[in-house]
Amino acid sequence: MPADTARSFLNSAPNLHTLLQEANKLLALQTAWNDIAPRPLAAASTVGALHGQAMIVYANNGAVAAKLRQLAPSLQAKFQERGIEVTAIRVDVQVAAPPLDRKPKSRTMNRNALNNLEQLENGLSESPLKNALRALIRRHSENVKD
C-alpha cells in the first residue's frame, strides 16, 4: 500500500487518526535518533516507544545496548537541545530478525565422500536410514565435486 493511501486510510477514522499521529511521532523521533546517535550505534538500534517523556530504544545486541546506556545522558541532552522533551532513555535489547531473502548455501560433496556413503547404504538393510542415505546420495550425485 503506497504511503499516501495508507495516510488517507488512517486519517479516515478518529481512532485510526490517533494511530497515525503516534506513528508520525515515532518517525520523527527515529529521524532525530539517526541524527543524534553515533552512526554505527544508530544503525544498530531503533526507537521503540515514547512513554510520557521516557524514550525506549531497542538495540540489536548487548554490546550496542551497553554503549548506548553509557551515552544516554549526553544523547538525552542533545534531544533537549533540539527542543524534544526526552527526560530519560531506556535501552532494551531486541535482536533483529535475519533477512528473509538469504539463499541457502549450496553444499557439494566430493566423489570420495559420495562413494563412502554409497558403500554404507549398500551395507544397510531396508530402513528409514537407508532411505535417507539413498535420497542424500541421489541429491548430491548431480553436483559431485571432484
Domains and CATH numbers, the chain: 3-93 (3.30.300.180), 111-141 (no CATH)
Q: Return the CA Rg of the chain.
A: 27
pLDDT over 90 for what percent of the chain? 55
- Per-residue pLDDT tens digits for 4-59: 677 777 677 777 778 888 888 899 999 999 999 999 999 999 999 988 899 999 99
pLDDT value for 5: 74
pLDDT value for 134: 92
The pTM is what? 0.60
Per DSSP, the three-state class of 67 is helix
pLDDT value for 54: 94
Q: What does the pLDDT average to over 82-94?
A: 93
Average pLDDT in the chain: 87
Q: Is the dihedral of CA 39, 47, 98, 95 positive or negative?
A: positive
Query: Among 82-91, 92-101, 121-130, whose mean pLDDT is lowest?
Result: 92-101
pLDDT value for 35: 96
Above 80 in pLDDT, residue 100? no
> What's the CA gap between 96 and 134, in Å, rounded?
38
Count of CB atoms situated within 10 Å of the CB of 36:
20
